[in-house]
Chain A
């Protein structure tokens, strides 16, 4: 099974702090790396995504850093807010056109007020 390993499993951050979630993959054919955010009782929703031809992508307080040689990518949430408390999933796709994603196991983030 082509895995995407995600860490940590849970994370507690103070309001205003930086939340960092890491993922590592094995398959060098992966060419699309999205992050999904899931609130309790809801389906996951796309947060931000990156392709391996760039090393960083920023959207507001959310940044993906990508290290192709290390086969790692991470999500940084700057100025974390209580409303960011959710479960975050990284994922990877191999560009086969079938939209098959391999998801990480998820990180439960809690931002303390």
Chain B
């Protein structure tokens, strides 16, 4: 049981490039979310999903796209990377029957130059 797996762990992009951050969970959780973590700003919600085929925007969605074709996977796409997207990205999943506890991945450290 791996929990929440994020890949890659580190990535450097040039401004304007696109890429996909992968997130997979093997706990059959319905709810999944993407956060970015920046110094002094805590964790900010980018997008979230309440089940396969259903996604919605969080606090800072601009510049990011998501899709949820399966329960297990919730990829985050950067459409055209900007230096402001330099951050640590965390994916989290939540079991619907255990109110509130989020299981986080190890994070992806992204640098946009």
Q: Which residues of A contact B (CB under 8 A)?
A: 1, 6, 9, 32, 34, 36, 41-46, 49, 89, 91, 93, 97-101, 103-106
A98 touches B50 (CB 8 A): yes
Q: How far is the CB of B12 from chain A (nearest CB, A)?
A: 17
Q: How far is the CB of A92 from chain B (nearest CB, A)?
A: 10
A103 touches B50 (CB 8 A): no
**CA A45 – CA B42 in complex, angstroms?**
14
With A42-B106, A93-B100, A100-B58: A9-B40 Cβ-Cβ less than 8 Å: yes
B74 at interface by CB-CB < 8 Å: no
With A99-B31, A99-B94: A43-B45 Cβ-Cβ less than 8 Å: no
**CA A93 – CA B44 in complex, angstroms?**
13
- Cβ-neighbour of A43 out of B42, B50, B99, B106 (below 8 A): B106
B90 touches A44 (CB 8 A): yes
A43 touches B104 (CB 8 A): yes
Q: Which residues of B contact A (CB under 8 A)?
A: 4, 31, 33, 35, 40-45, 48, 50, 56, 58-59, 90, 92, 94, 99-102, 104-107
With A43-B107, A44-B90: A99-B102 Cβ-Cβ less than 8 Å: yes
A34 touches B48 (CB 8 A): no
Query: Which 6 pairs show the lowest CB-CB distances between chains A and B?
Result: A43-B104, A103-B43, A105-B42, A103-B42, A99-B94, A99-B31
- Cβ-neighbour of A100 out of B40, B48, B104, B105 (below 8 A): B48
Find chain A residues with CB under 8 A from B43 CB: 44, 89, 91, 101, 103
Q: How far is the CB of B60 from chain A (nearest CB, A)?
A: 10
19 sample A-B contacts, Cβ–Cβ < 8 Å, listed by A number: A1-B59, A32-B100, A34-B100, A34-B101, A34-B102, A43-B4, A43-B107, A44-B43, A45-B104, A46-B100, A46-B101, A46-B102, A97-B50, A98-B31, A99-B33, A99-B102, A103-B35, A103-B44, A106-B42
